[in-house]
A and B are shown apart, each in its own frame.
Chain A
Amino acid sequence: MAGRNLPLEAPLRPRYVGAADVAEWKVMVVFALIVINKAGGLIYHREFHEGLNKLSVNDYLVLAGTFHGVHAITKNLCPLPRTPGQPPTGIEVLESESFRLQCFQTLTGTKFLLFTEPHQPNIDGIIRKVYELYSDYVMKNPFYQIEMPIRCDAFDRHLASYIKPRQ
Chain B
Amino acid sequence: MNAPQASAVPAAPAALQQPAQRASVGGLRYPTNRKTIYDRNLNRSRTSELSKASFAYLFGEMVSYAQRRVTGIQDLERRLNVQGHPLGLRLLDLLLYREPTRSVQRPTRILPLLQFITTTLWKHLFSRSADALERSKDNEDEYMISDNDPLVNQYISVPKEMNQLNCAAYVAGIIEGICDGTGFAARVTAHSVPTELWPAKTVFLIKFEPEVMEREAFLEKAR
Contact = CB atoms under 8 A, between A and B. Distances in A.
B60 A140 contact: yes
B100 interface: no
Interface residues of B, number: 20
A136 interface: yes
Given A153-B199, A157-B199, A140 B157 contact: no
B222 interface: no
Interface string B36-79: 00000000000000000100110111011001000000000000
Contacts of B156: 140-143, 154
A143 B159 contact: yes
B97 interface: no
Given A152-B157, A154-B157, A155-B157, A142 B199 contact: no
A151 B159 contact: yes
Contacts of A143: 63, 156-159, 162
Contact of A141 (B67, B157, B199): B157
A60 interface: no
Interface string B151-190: 0001111111010000100000000000000000000000
A67 interface: no
B61 A142 contact: yes
Contact of A137 (B157, B167, B199): B157
Interface residues of A, number: 13
A154 B155 contact: yes
Contact of A153 (B61, B64, B157): B157
Contacts of A140: 53, 56-57, 60, 155-156
A151 to B, nearest CB: 7
Best-surrounded residue of B61, B156, B158, B199 (most CB of chain A within 10 A): B156
B63 A142 contact: yes
Interface in A129-160: 136-137, 140-144, 151-155, 157
A118 B129 CA distance: 48
A136 B199 contact: no
Contacts of B167: 142
A157 B198 CA distance: 12
Nearest to B165: A143
B53 A142 contact: no
Contact of B67 (A142, A152, A153): A142
Best-surrounded residue of A142, A143, A144 (most CB of chain B within 10 A): A142
B190 to A, nearest CB: 16
B44 to A, nearest CB: 27
Best-surrounded residue of B63, B159, B160 (most CB of chain A within 10 A): B159
Contacts of B200: 154
A140 to B, nearest CB: 4
A136 B158 contact: no
Interface of B: 53, 56-57, 59-61, 63-64, 67, 154-160, 162, 167, 199-200
Interface of A: 136-137, 140-144, 151-155, 157
Given A136-B56, A143-B63, 11 more contacts: A136-B155, A140-B155, A142-B60, A142-B64, A143-B158, A151-B160, A152-B157, A153-B157, A154-B199, A155-B157, A157-B199
Q: Which 10 pairs of residues, A with B, have the shortest CB-CB distance?
A: A140-B155, A152-B157, A142-B60, A142-B63, A140-B56, A153-B157, A154-B157, A142-B64, A143-B159, A141-B157
